[in-house]
Structure 1
Amino acid sequence: MTAQKGHLTMADALVRLARAHGVATSYTTDRGVRVDVAPDTLVAVLAACGVDAATPAAARDALARHEFRSRTRLLPPCVVLRQPETVRLEALGLPRDTEGHVELENGAGRAALDDPLPAGLHTLHVQGPTGVGDCALLVAPARLAVPEGRHWGFLVQLYSVLSRRSWGMGDLGDLADLAAWSGRALGAGFLQLGPLHAAEPGPLTDPSPYRPSSRRFPDPLHLRVEAIPEYAYLDPAERRDVDACVAQARALNDRVLRGQSLIDRETVRALKLRALRGIHGAAPLSPGRAASFASFVQREGDELTDFATWCALAEVHAGDWHTWPADLRDPRSAAVARARTELADDIGFHQWLAWLTDEQLADAQHQARTAGMPIGLVHDLAVGVSPHGADAWAYQRFLAAGMSVGAPPDDFNPHGQNWGQPPWRPDALAAAAYRPLAGLLRAGLRHAGALRVDHVMGLFRLWWIPDGCAPDAGTYVRYDSDALLATLMLEANRAGAAVIGEDLGTVEAGVREHLADLGVLGTSVQRFEYVGGSEGRHGPLPPDQWRQECLATLTTHDLPTTSAWLSGEHVELRAGLGLLTRPETEEKAEAAAERDGWLAELTRLGLLPDGADSEDRDAALVALHAFLLRTPARLLGVWLPDATGDLMPQNLPGTSAAVHPNWRLPVADATGCPVPLEDLPDHPLLRRVTELFTPSHRSRVH
């Protein structure tokens, strides 16, 4: 379109608006190719940020309003400091004769602008010739403390670790036992979990723990029913009803452990909810436990009320709140207020479930620390939530409607990725002083010695995809990384916990270094550690060149197990499912060359004897773990299925439940036979692997 005199073109207005709101107008691919973002994408993304740029006139008006606000705004929504910085008004563009003070959080008093400030979310007040104003003042520690010394631990997906006492999937009782055993008997320093977030109710087409209903509250599906104190006080008739659920659950559990059934979350959920409703309705709380429950409800406040309300409404109207009656889609509506009264008993039940889950999580962390683990549990914060679930309903004013998070096309996925999760709106988060994010972080850190942040690069920018578009039709939207990182550091500092960033894949230059400066540990995975990077592939990266400030491991839940990678069975699995993009012979040859390169490196280091049988997977697997010990990495992770010789991946990215049983497999041995928790201590391969990490073996490896 040609510009009229004195008017911007639509293209110019779009570019300026996009840049003003952190929306990229172009990006560089993983191969260094510049790609210009389509105007329609810019219009859609800006609309999700509350900016109308659909027509030339609307775009010009929106730009004019933005520029006027920028000129007349006294203070930004949130000012970020890192200790020992103090408030500098001139850095905020305020005149020298402006005065002000800081109101400390929680009514802890006030401070002068040049006073050293405690870490916290405070309020900055200013007054001067240009006006009077206030804004949030986020003060973060200069750096997070990292764990002292060097530690190893298992990486596990809890659902997959079944004991003979489970109800068809691993639970919080199993977690406490796993932590106590690995801490006391094996000297493990931590236990890293997959997300325990609340899942969507109803039949799950995607049981991924990384696409939850809520990141704010854990899933009561993980409860150990028999460990609830009130269970012991049921009268005989009530006990019979609950014990009938126990019997059915144990029968299901036996089928899973015999390899006759996959993990069936919905059957487990139905049995547990039936038993839990029986306990809730029949066994009143003692005065002391009633007081503890009331304290929990008060502490969790409106966020718990919203979550429990959503759970109760979902039982009436099904799980996708977009299909509910229109007046129930707004959590602050009069209709929802009435529903809270009508469904008070059900809401109370879901609050009670949240309290019990919090109690059992606290006990698991207590067991871990009592067992001598310096860190204990490491919880996992997923990158986002389902658009249909509790958080998307409760936090909808902070989320970008009509958008989904994903990744642009790259060599790993030439079509890009759409994760089906709504992103935070940067402007709404800032206006709320990042409190919604702080609440999620606080919950994840409450019973943890460390928190793993999935796709930690999302604290800098995220790939937004308009609904109905292919992943390659998206663009990056930048966040105030200083504010998001300050929020993360503040909450981790309050909890006395470390932070591990999952920084795999395409990462902007300088991001890993910046995170390291802040004390955020990275993640290094053997499959991606090569001289010249994952693209160069000039041979395995020697162990002394690995990062120190990271968690190092051989594989993850999204990659083949080490035994499958060593044997080449990961290629055969994908070939059998029709997932190969090249001839099978080529894929097998490439996989074998990659494996042989690593075996040669292990031989060079003396971790495998010359001429070792390449078919001896167990010896190579043990040698690879010994290789991890040669690195300077502060934390060393052992993927639990690796330690049993498991050949099946817990998740095969890009596949559906009909193609591969993602997130539904118990930990198994090399024959595919599930390994109960009780049998882990005597598993021969596990003993060979974990003996490496005892002090005497560790000194010999080095």
Structure 2
Amino acid sequence: MSTPETSQAVPDAAAPDDLRELAATYGVLTEHHRYGGGVDAVADATLVAVLTALGVAASTPGEVAHSLRRARDEEWRTVLPPAVVVRQGDRHDVPVHVTHGSSVHVWLEVEGAEPTARPHQVRPRRDLEQVDAFVEPREVDGRQVGRATFSVPADLPLGWHTLHALTEGHETTATLVVTPRRLELGTDLDRRQAWGVLVQLYSVRSRTSWGMGDLADLADLAWLTAHRAGADFIAVNPLSAAEPVTPLTPSPYLPTSRRFGSPLYVRVEDIPETAYLTAADRSLVEWASDPVRDLAADDGPIDRDAVWDAKKAALEVVHTAPRRASRQAAFEEFVAEQGTGLRDFATWCALTEELGGGRWPAELADPASPAVAQARERLADRVDFYSWLQWVFDEQKRDAQRTAVDTGMRIGVVHDLAVGVHPDGADAWANADVLASGVGVGAPPDMYNQQGQDWSQPPWNPRALAQAGYAPYRDMLRTVLRHAGALRVDHVLGLFRLWWVPRGMAPTQGAYVRYDHDALVGILCLEAHRAGAIVIGEDLGVFEPWVRDYLADRGVLGTSVFWFEQDGDQPTAPQDYRRLTLASVGTHDMPPTAGYLAGEHVDLRDRLGLLTEDPQVLRSRARSERAAAVRALAEQGLVGDNPSEREVVEALHRYLRRSRAALVGVQLVDAVGERRSQNQPGTDREYPNWKVPLGDSAGNPVLVEDLFENARLRSLFAAVAQGR
């Protein structure tokens, strides 16, 4: 989902048109820079659709005028803001709105800074002082409303606190979040560069995995790369939940839930209860695995449907096995800890299974409805099964991180957070009140997809998310950050603004919607701090220049890709790379380096009809790009005359090891000589996206057990480990 081109953003235009004024009021940009130069004004139809998705009536001139009037008084209608997010150490003033002339008492309940604080523990209470800041009262909906200002003290601990206001006998509450000023790197990354391996886990199979890579393979990869090559981290694609029934969506970046994991990645044999199955039940598990055992050696597309059918049958058998008292207690504690979120997710899975993926009755649209409660009770066994799958996934995720750290990795496993979720998935159902409907997240046209992109994922509604006190966002982050050494946030620019594409419109007809980045980035840093993880933001794409500085100031690493780092028409010199970044040669949305050097990214897009420019011009540009890269490597003394493909690939990685980047990532596909892309943006069925198994330069499968038998891998890892 990355877009490599950078461009200056146009500030909101002070348009006289009421519709455009209304759009700007709600953070909808009315203009944007066009790829290749120039500025495009957003069409009125797009603005109306986006405002409607935000819950703002704008279909007629009368609605626009009414919405504008309401917008000017919106904050005066509530006693407290819906949520207040501040940085630790900052004094912050909070406006409190009451009937003019009425008194108000405001106080704060303080949460402990650590997530281990007991939920029922008595919280310290602190009264807030009123600030002498007179504001003229205002007539709102026929009554005079006054504003009192109260000061939030600067010495509050990190955490999620609760504001209270009492006026005229009514008490109002709001969320107050204190976030770190800066997320510190730790693990001496501020002094010593770390390197690691970038992996599409599903593609990396072993002889004992069931046709696709799993969490046991991840643990083995971590051990091997740390023990034999000295790697400090292993970064994987999102392991987020897919559908509970086939057919499954192949893309790990279009999950049904970002909060919960995919049991596709569970290793059945590693569940402790498997060891205590009866002979008959053990035979059932073995029979379930028979159809997929041999798929590890198959060079064709990965068959997730076959894998899930097999694993699901086996997991159902293991689920029925008795658990020791301690393990049963651990499962129950996990369910209680995950709370309503897990209950709703498991209920959605059970309902989806029962309905066979068909259309849902209207009475099941609301997770809190009586009909859903009745269904949950009727399907209690299946709800328990899907809850148990999340516990098993969490345990094996924990074991992989523990293996990585115990083997000496400074960071361990880097997990990945997709930018959004499937429009018909569990999160879209459970969080419908905080997601925008009728629009999807996407990207405007760029160098690598000149038709724009529509990823179809419903975005957070920034107004509704704030009104919910950011709780859904927090809960998602907490689960994803469990057992993670770091978190990569796909399209981190979406915490600042997102390209919304109204349903039925082309990706070129979207508009940018702004978010409260101080709140979203601050909460991300808070939850990462509490989890002991670092954060890496994929900050490729169209953005305002200050965004990267802001992320660096908060301690969030960026992303630097060799092919996108340019100084004029030459590659950026190693010493000019940003310090706070993860540097890599390519990305999963590009061919592996061997294929890219050969210009296969142009050939593939030409075959798929994705180009809007002359293919020959693009091929010439690709050859020039390669020549410039080789010259830069030669200037560093990393290659001689007429270097081979393998020499160039190794030199590119050594070039990055000479850079100032805190982290350097090596794609596993580059290590084994793979040439096929994992994903071609802008395609669906035209290319086997997210289904390509790890293979060598000839496409022959490379299994986990054979990785370090691969001479090309050993050579590249040795070059990277030697560093500069």
Question: TM-score of the superposition, structure 2-length normalised?
Answer: 0.89
| Cα deviation digits, residues 310-337 of structure 1 (max 9, x gap) | 00001111336xx211111111111100
Q: Name the residue aligned to 2:227.
A: 184
| Cα deviation digits, residues 631-682 of structure 1 (max 9, x gap) | 010000000000011010111112223x221111111111111111011112
Q: Name the residue aligned to 2:659.
A: 631
1:332, 1:371 → 2: CA distance?
A: 45
1:89, 1:325 → 2: CA distance?
A: 44
Of 623-632 and 13-22, more deviation after overlay is shown by: 13-22
Question: Cα 1:231–1:582, aligned 2, differ >3 Å: closer, same or farther?
Answer: same
* 1:242 matched to 2:272: no
Q: Name the residue aligned to 1:146.
A: 185
Give the partner amino acid of 1:301. G
Q: Report if aligned partners of 2:496, 2:515 keep a CA contact under 8 Å in 1.
A: yes
Post-superposition shift, 1:115?
5.6
Structure 2 gaps of 5+ residues are: 1-14, 112-118, 129-152
2:336, 2:526 → 1: CA distance?
A: 22
Give the partner amino acid of 2:497. R
2:509, 2:605 → 1: CA distance?
A: 28
Q: Report if aligned partners of 1:111, 1:117 keep a CA contact under 8 Å in 2.
A: no
Post-superposition shift, 1:204?
4.3
* 1:399 matched to 2:435: yes
Q: Report if aligned partners of 1:30, 1:506 keep a CA contact under 8 Å in 2.
A: no
Post-superposition shift, 1:201?
3.9
Q: Name the residue aligned to 1:489.
A: 525
1:310 to 344, 348, 353: 348
1:162, 1:382 → 2: CA distance?
A: 23
Of 407-416 and 673-682, more deviation after overlay is shown by: 407-416
1:396 counterpart SS class: coil
* 1:564 matched to 2:633: no
Q: Report if aligned partners of 1:99, 1:128 keep a CA contact under 8 Å in 2.
A: yes
1:555 to 586, 592, 607: 586
Post-superposition shift, 1:127?
5.8
1:570, 1:660 → 2: CA distance?
A: 13
5 Å-filtered alignment, 1:678-697, equals 678-694=705-721, 697=722
2:601, 2:74 → 1: CA distance?
A: 56
Question: Cα 1:92–1:330, aligned 2, differ >3 Å: closer, same or farther?
Answer: closer
Structure 1 gaps of 5+ residues are: 1-9, 533-537
Q: Name the residue aligned to 2:114.
A: none
* 1:70 matched to 2:75: yes
Q: Name the residue aligned to 1:617.
A: 645
2:286 counterpart SS class: helix
* 1:297 matched to 2:335: yes
Give the partner amino acid of 2:341. E
2:166, 2:408 → 1: CA distance?
A: 53
Q: Report if aligned partners of 2:79, 2:172 keep a CA contact under 8 Å in 1.
A: yes
2:85 counterpart SS class: strand
Q: Name the residue aligned to 1:354.
A: 390
Give the partner amino acid of 1:144. L
Percent of residue pairs bearing the same amino acid type = 48
2:229 counterpart SS class: coil
Q: Report if aligned partners of 1:74, 1:131 keep a CA contact under 8 Å in 2.
A: no
2:658, 2:247 → 1: CA distance?
A: 42
5 Å-filtered alignment, 1:421-432, equals 421-432=457-468
* 1:34 matched to 2:73: no
| Cα deviation digits, residues 283-310 of structure 1 (max 9, x gap) | 1111111111101100011100100000
Q: Name the residue aligned to 2:698.
A: 671
Over the aligned positions, Cα root-mean-square deviation in angstroms equals 2.3
* 1:100 matched to 2:127: no
Q: Name the residue aligned to 1:81.
A: 86
2:688 to 646, 658, 661: 661
Post-superposition shift, 1:205?
7.4
| Cα deviation digits, residues 418-470 of structure 1 (max 9, x gap) | 11100111111001111111111111111101100000000011111111111
Give the partner amino acid of 2:314. A
2:519, 2:176 → 1: CA distance?
A: 10
2:571 counterpart SS class: coil
Q: Name the residue aligned to 2:266.
A: 223
1:302, 1:598 → 2: CA distance?
A: 52
Q: Name the residue aligned to 1:319.
A: 357
| Cα deviation digits, residues 387-442 of structure 1 (max 9, x gap) | 01111011111111111111123343332211110011111100111111111111
5 Å-filtered alignment, 1:504-543, equals 504-532=540-568, 538-543=569-574
2:176 counterpart SS class: strand
* 1:591 matched to 2:637: no
2:274, 2:424 → 1: CA distance?
A: 33
Give the partner amino acid of 2:618. E
* Larger proportion of helix: 1
Q: Name the residue aligned to 1:287.
A: 325
Q: Name the residue aligned to 1:4.
A: none
Q: Report if aligned partners of 2:449, 2:682 keep a CA contact under 8 Å in 1.
A: no
1:36, 1:319 → 2: CA distance?
A: 40
Give the partner amino acid of 1:83. Q
Q: Name the residue aligned to 1:6.
A: none
| Cα deviation digits, residues 476-521 of structure 1 (max 9, x gap) | 1111111111111111111111000000111122000000000000
Question: Cα 1:622–1:482, aligned 2, differ >3 Å: closer, same or farther?
Answer: same
Of 80-89 and 566-575, more deviation after overlay is shown by: 566-575
1:592, 1:497 → 2: CA distance?
A: 40
Q: Name the residue aligned to 1:535.
A: none
Post-superposition shift, 1:203?
4.3
Question: Cα 1:408–1:582, aligned 2, differ >3 Å: closer, same or farther?
Answer: closer
Give the partner amino acid of 2:539. D
Give the partner amino acid of 1:47. T
Q: Report if aligned partners of 2:242, 2:248 keep a CA contact under 8 Å in 1.
A: no
Q: Report if aligned partners of 2:243, 2:349 keep a CA contact under 8 Å in 1.
A: no
| Cα deviation digits, residues 133-192 of structure 1 (max 9, x gap) | 542211101100114232100000110110111100001110011111111221111111
2:362, 2:19 → 1: CA distance?
A: 33
Q: Name the residue aligned to 1:454.
A: 490
